[in-house]
Structure 1
Amino acid sequence: MGVSLKDVAQRAGVSIKTVSNVVNNYPHVTPQMRAKVQRAIDELGYRPNLTARHLRKGRTGIIAFAVPELGNPYFAELAGAVIDAAAQHDYTVLVDHTAGLRERELLVCQEFRSHVIDGLILSPIHLETADLVARQETSPLVLLGEREYDAPYDQIAIDNVAAARDAVRHLLDLGRGRIAFLGSRTGRERQPAHLRLRGWREELAAAGREADERLVVATDGYGRADGAAAMAELLERGERPDAVFAYNDLIALGAMRTLTERGLRVPDDVAVVGFDDIEESRYGATSLTTVSPDKQAIARLSVDRLVERLSGGAVSEPRRISPGHRLVVRESTTGGRSGSHRESTARSSGASAPTAE
C-alpha cells in the first residue's frame, strides 16, 4: 500500500484538508504549516496520485503537442520545453507528428485521440481559418506558429518580421551588401518563410538598399540538404553573395557546408545567419550566428493558456501572444571576434539585445 494523505496528516499532526492544500499548492497556507507538512511528505516518501486527481476533475491528465517535423531539432527542443512546462501543472504530454500534411493536421485538430487528451497544442502548416472555425471538438486548443488565424483560439508566435530585420541589420552593420535569403516558399503569405523574407526586404529598404530578388532562393524543404542545394544553385548562377540569411539553422548549416566545399571561407568571404538557435548551431567547426526565439517562453505560455482554459474559471478572450527573441552572434558572422561585437537595442518589443556567444 502506498502512503496516503491520511498518513501524512497523522505524521504532521494536521488535518487531511491541510495536507491536500499543501500538495495542491493552494496559496492560503502559512509558510510554517507548509514546511511542517512538507517534512512529513519527505519523511514518508508520499507521492500524489495524479491519475485519481485528474479523474476527480473529469480529466485524463494528458495534453497533446502536435508538430510538423519531430526530426527537426527546433521542434524536438520545443517539445522538451513543453513537457517541462506541463509537468509544472502535473500534466503528461503526448507528442504527435503530423509530417506537415494537411490531412493529419485536420485529424489531430478535429477529433484524433479526443477521448485520450484534455487539450491540444498544435503547430500547423496547412490549416486555414475555415478549418479552425469548423472545428467541433470542444477540448481547448492553442496554436503555435506565425500565421494569423481569425479563429477563437489562443496563438503563441514570435514577431518573425522584426526578428528577420534584426538579422539583416546585423549583416548590414558588418558592411555586407549582397545578402541572400535562402528558404523562401511559394503559397500562403502568412507562412513564416514569407514573413522572414518580408523582414529581409524591409530592412534592406530601410537601409536605402534595393532588395536583389536574384539572391532569393526557394527550397523544397527546410533541412540541411535543402540549404546545401540552395547555396549551390546560387553560386552556379554566378550570384555569389557576401552574406546569407537562412530561413532556419538547418538551411544555414547546409549552406555553410557548400561554401566550404567550394573553397569559400565563412565568414571572411560569406557571412551566414540562421534562425532557431538549435543546439547544433553552437558546436559546429564554425559556430552559427542565429535568431534565438525564446523557446522556454513559447512552451510556458502555450501550456499556461491551455491549463487556464481547462481550469473552468473565468478565462479571457483568445489572444495572440508574442514571446521575445534575440540575435545570438557567433563565429559565422564575426569569426573569432564574437565576444567583441557591439550590442545594439533590438526593435521588437518582445526581443532582447543581440548577445555574443
Structure 2
Amino acid sequence: MPATMRDVAELAGVSVKTVSNVINGYPYIKGATRERVETAIAQLSYEVNVTARNLRRGSTGVIGLALPELSLPYFAELADSVMDAGHRAGLTVVIERTRGDRDEELAVLTSTWRSSTDGLLFSPLGMTPDDEPLIPDGAPIVLLGERVFSPRFDHVTMDNIEGARAATARLIALGRRRIAAIGVHPGEAMGSAALRFAGYRAALAEAGIPDDPRLHGATQLWHRPSGAAAMASVLDRGVAPDAVVAFNDALGLGAMHELQLRGYEIPRDVLLIGFDDIEETRYARPTMSSVDPGREFIADTAVRLLRERIAGGTARTPRLVTAPHRVVDRASTTLG
C-alpha cells in the first residue's frame, strides 16, 4: 500500500499537521524537524497528492525556473537538481531559457508565468543592478546567481570568490607558481568571471606571487571551444604555465584538450582545476579536479525558500544564502 501522511508522521515522530506544514512550505518550522520529515518522506517514498492539495489551496502546483542557457552543463545539472527538489515537494517545474538576454529576462518577469505558476526561481545574466526596480513587487521570486541582488527578494548564490581562491591556493600548495586563469572577462566588475578572477588574484597575493597578465586567458563565452582558444592564447605568448585555474569546467575541458594537443602531460607538466564539478569531470582523461559550488544545496534551498513565499511568508525578511563549497581533487591535480 502507498505510504500515507500518517505513516510519515509516525516515522518522523511528529504530528500529521507538522508533516502537512513541511510539505506545504510553511515557514517557522525548526530545521531539525523539517529534516526528519523530509527524511521520512524519502524513506517511505511518500507521494504528495498534488491535485487534491492544489484544489484546496487554489494554486497551480507549478513553479518556474528561468536560466540563461541549458547548453552549459552547470545550468543543465542545476535544472535537474531543481526538478528533483520540486518533485520531492510535490511541485512541477517548468523551465524558461532566457539566453542571458536582458530583454528576454525582463519578458519572463511580465509574461504569463505569473498566472500559470505559483512562483519563479530566476537566474538573470543580462540584467544589471540598475534593472532591479523592474522586478515586480509582491511576486514569489527567489533570485539565483550574481548579476542582480535585491533586498526585496530571497537570494541563493555560490561563494565564487572563496571557491576560486581555494582552487588557486590548492595549486600553490602543490608548488605551482605560473598559474593561468582561463575565462577572464576583461573590464567586468560584476558576475561570476569578475568574482572568480578576484579569488584567483587574492590567492596569488596571499602567496606573494606576482599576477602576470600573460597568464590571463580571456574569453566571453564559457564553453569548451572558448577554453581551448583561451588556453592557446596563453601558450602562444611564450609563457609556460605550470598550472591552470579554469573558471568553469567546460573551459577546463577545453583547456585540457589544447594542452594535450600541444604535448603537455597532465598532471606531470601542468596541473589543472575547474569550477562547478559537473558530471563530465569524472570521465575526463585524466579525471579533472574541480570546485563543487554546492549545486544540490542551491537547488534545495531555493525551492524551500520559494515554497515559503508561496505559502504566505511575506512578513519574513528576505534572506541571502551562500552555498558551501569544497575543492574536489582528482587526477588532474594528483602528483606522484
CA displacement at 1:54 relative to structure 2: 1.3
| Equivalent residue letter for 2:90 | D
Larger Rg: 1
Gaps of 5+ in 2: 7-14, 24-43
Alpha-carbon separation, structure 2, partners of 1:111 and 1:187? 33
Are the aligned partners of 1:133 and 1:152 in contact in 2 as well (CA < 8 Å)? no
Residues 202/47 of structure 1: CA separation in 2 closer, same or farther (3 Å cut): closer
Structure 1: which 4+ aligned runs deviate by more than 6 Å?
none
Are the aligned partners of 2:272 and 2:332 in contact in 1 as well (CA < 8 Å)? yes
Deviations 1:154-212 (A, max 9, x none): 11112111111100110001110100101011454121100000011111001111111
Q: How does 1:192-271 map to 2 (within 5 A)?
A: 192-271=192-271
| Equivalent residue letter for 1:259 | L
* TM-score normalised according to structure 2 size: 0.84
| Cross-structure match for 1:91 | 91
Residues 292/161 of structure 1: CA separation in 2 closer, same or farther (3 Å cut): same
Alpha-carbon separation, structure 2, partners of 1:333 and 1:127? 36
Deviations 1:59-117 (A, max 9, x none): 11100111111121111111111111112221100011111111111111233422111
SS in 2 for 1:272: strand
| Cross-structure match for 1:24 | 20
| Cross-structure match for 2:35 | none
Are the aligned partners of 2:127 and 2:147 in contact in 1 as well (CA < 8 Å)? no
Alpha-carbon separation, structure 1, partners of 2:16 and 2:205? 60
Alpha-carbon separation, structure 2, partners of 1:289 and 1:176? 15
Q: How many residues align?
A: 306
Between the aligned residues of both structures, percent identity stands at 43
Are the aligned partners of 1:133 and 1:151 in contact in 2 as well (CA < 8 Å)? no
Are the aligned partners of 1:289 and 1:332 in contact in 2 as well (CA < 8 Å)? yes
| Cross-structure match for 1:353 | none
Are the aligned partners of 1:129 and 1:151 in contact in 2 as well (CA < 8 Å)? no
| Cross-structure match for 2:101 | 101
Alpha-carbon separation, structure 2, partners of 1:25 and 1:313? 12
| Cross-structure match for 1:347 | none
| Cross-structure match for 1:350 | none
| Equivalent residue letter for 2:20 | N
Alpha-carbon separation, structure 2, partners of 1:157 and 1:23? 28
Is 2:311 the counterpart of 1:304? Answer: no
Residues 55/139 of structure 1: CA separation in 2 closer, same or farther (3 Å cut): farther
| Cross-structure match for 1:55 | 55
| Cross-structure match for 1:168 | 168
Is 2:111 the counterpart of 1:115? Answer: no
SS in 1 for 2:113: coil
Are the aligned partners of 1:242 and 1:269 in contact in 2 as well (CA < 8 Å)? yes
Are the aligned partners of 1:244 and 1:273 in contact in 2 as well (CA < 8 Å)? yes
Deviations 1:112-142 (A, max 9, x none): 4221111010111121233232223632111
Alpha-carbon separation, structure 2, partners of 1:23 and 1:179? 51
Is 2:191 the counterpart of 1:182? Answer: no
Which is further off, 46-55 or 234-243? Answer: 46-55
| Equivalent residue letter for 1:24 | S
CA displacement at 1:21 relative to structure 2: 5.3
Alpha-carbon separation, structure 2, partners of 1:20 and 1:201? 53
| Cross-structure match for 1:283 | 283
SS in 1 for 2:64: strand
Residues 102/22 of structure 1: CA separation in 2 closer, same or farther (3 Å cut): closer
Deviations 1:245-278 (A, max 9, x none): 0110000000000111101111111111100000
SS in 2 for 1:115: helix
Alpha-carbon separation, structure 1, partners of 2:47 and 2:169? 52
Are the aligned partners of 1:148 and 1:190 in contact in 2 as well (CA < 8 Å)? no
| Equivalent residue letter for 2:154 | D
| Larger relative contact order (Cα-Cα within 8 Å, sequence gap ≥ 6) | 2
Over aligned residues, Cα RMSD in angstroms? 2.6
Alpha-carbon separation, structure 2, partners of 1:220 and 1:305? 32
SS in 2 for 1:24: helix
SS in 2 for 1:155: strand
